Amino acid sequence: MSSIRIKEIVPLNATLNVLSNGLINVQNTTAATNSTASLKVAGGIAILGSGSGSGLTTPDGLYVAAGAGVNGNLYVGGIVNLQNTTTTTNTSTGSCIIAGGLLIKDKLCFQHAYGSYIKFETSTSRPDITLTNFNQTSAPNGISLNIVNVTSDGTYSSGLRLWSLGTNTAATNQEYIDFSYNPSVSGYSILSKSSGSGVLKPIKLSSTSGITDQISINTNQTVSFNTTQITSLGTTDSTSSSTGSVILSGGLTVQKTVYAKTLTLDGNTEQKLNQQSSTILNNQSTASTIFTMTNSRCFKCIAVVEIQRTSGGSLYETFDIIGYYQNTTGWFLTYKSQGDITGLTLSIVTGTGAVQYTTPSITNFSAATFYYKMYSVYPGVVF
């Protein structure tokens, strides 16, 4: 037995055993509190072993079978491995419960037994958060969600990525959709991307479970609408090729009926296919303009004038009008009328193409309207 040096009087009893192999066995079973214990040390304890441990029951340095309380700071230079598997169901359950905050200066990964994990990865240029579901028997090839910094140029434009192939842009084969702020257009963008063996996928939008692709943004730069109606809530009227609530840069194909309150073709206000009208005054002895042909060089118009009277009923006179332009003399107008003879006459200003009217004094006159439809020829334009 090695020697024992005792500087003060220490009573020894059966609760302290010093064994021949140098082990000290304290057999007192007093439970530890902040004031009582079977072994109390006023100073520090240093364990100078060199092992790093291989498991819960073979830690090499210190093994505590019961609970342990540390009231001061705890510094751990090696790996901290928590073996308890208690799951968390609320804010007071789990294998690790922290009452205060948690600071982690490197990556953080939450991994399920089946391979899915949540990873928080931060660097000075690209802070990322990744939620991934790995296939159990293959390389990362499942569903992945990235909340990432989509640029590395210092602009820190945050984005959200949903992956169907690969888990990050370093992967050779990728498929993902990117929701992000795009500095190049100063706006937000939704992009479908792929690389390697990944296949570029269309973007489909739906508001019902029965139809999965009410709006489909396809990979061939087309958009498909699988819906019963498309409604624009804008009320801006169209006065040119760049105004209106819906503007198409290309052509428009309609396979069924088109309804338009007013239809203007190629900016030619004279080429209106819908019925138009103009108010007619009684006893208009000076010619007054109904419409003007500015760009067209010939037109044909059918019209009817309705004259309402306070007694005797309304009058209706139908007109068949042809106008044409000659280079040396200007505009000419011919017409014939049928029905009630109202006394309305028509003429055209040779230099401006203004179609005008005059009326006599009509007895019992109340109101009058000139209704007309017109087809004109506009040189240089094919409708």
> Which of 45-59, 100-114, 115-129, 335-349 bottoms out in mean pLDDT, i.e. has the lowest?
115-129
On the question of pLDDT at 318 being above 90, the answer is: yes
On the question of pLDDT at 135 being above 50, the answer is: no
Domain coordinates of the chain in residue numbers? Answer: 269-377
8 closest CA partner among 31, 35, 34, 42? 42
How confident is the model at residue 128, as a pLDDT?
Answer: 57
What order do you get walking across the sheet with 108-111 strand by strand?
Answer: 108-111, 117-121, 128-132, 144-149, 158-165, 174-182, 187-195
Using CA atoms, how far apart are residues 32 and 64, in angstroms rounded to an integer?
Answer: 12
- Pairing, β 223-225 against β 288-292: unpaired
3-state secondary structure of 330: strand
Q: How many CA within 13 A on the CB side of residue 158? A: 4
Which tops the pLDDT comparison, 260 or 96?
96
How confident is the model at residue 295, as a pLDDT?
Answer: 78
Residues present in the chain in total: 383
> Which of 7-11, 225-229, 279-283 bottoms out in mean pLDDT, i.e. has the lowest?
7-11
Q: Which CATH class is domain 269-377?
A: mainly beta
> How confident is the model over 212-236, as a mean pLDDT?
82
> Which of 35-39, 50-54, 251-255, 289-293 bottoms out in mean pLDDT, i.e. has the lowest?
50-54
Query: What share of the chain in percent tops pLDDT 70?
Result: 74
Torsion of CA 192, 198, 200, 203, to 10 degrees: -50
Using CA atoms, how far apart are residues 357 and 20, in angstroms rounded to an integer?
Answer: 133
Which tops the pLDDT comparison, 316 or 171?
316
Using CA atoms, how far apart are residues 301 and 321, in angstroms rounded to an integer?
Answer: 5
Q: How many CA within 13 A on the CB side of residue 62? A: 9
Using CA atoms, how far apart are residues 107 and 76, in angstroms rounded to an integer?
Answer: 18
- List pLDDT tens digits, range 147-161: 555 555 545 456 777
> How confident is the model over 181-198, as a mean pLDDT?
81
Residue linked to tokens 């396979």 = 255
